[in-house]
Amino acid sequence: MTKVKWIFLMVLLVFCLIVIFQNIESTEVRLLTMSFQLPQAALLLITLAMGFAMGLLTPAFRKLVSWRSHTKKPKADSPKPEIPESSV
């Protein structure tokens, strides 16, 4: 890795540690009928992981939809009724 990437990763790591240590108090999380205590840092990490997973799955979903639309059989063309030309 280049020096710039290492510096960027270290700054990012320090930033993440600051966020984690500033958010260690517990908070109540309600999900449908469940309720539980969770540190705010853990809640942030769960949210980050969910966003990351959605970002990874979105292109795969688009590729699947595109693949399905290309593999559908085209509908048989219904014969169009011929309209007689009128001579004016």
| Domain limits, the chain | 3-52
User: Which tens digit of pLDDT belongs to each residue from 33-88?
Assistant: 989 898 888 888 888 889 888 888 888 777 777 766 666 655 555 566 667 676 65
Q: Is pTM beyond 0.75 here? A: no
Element at 28 (helix H, strand E):
strand 26-31
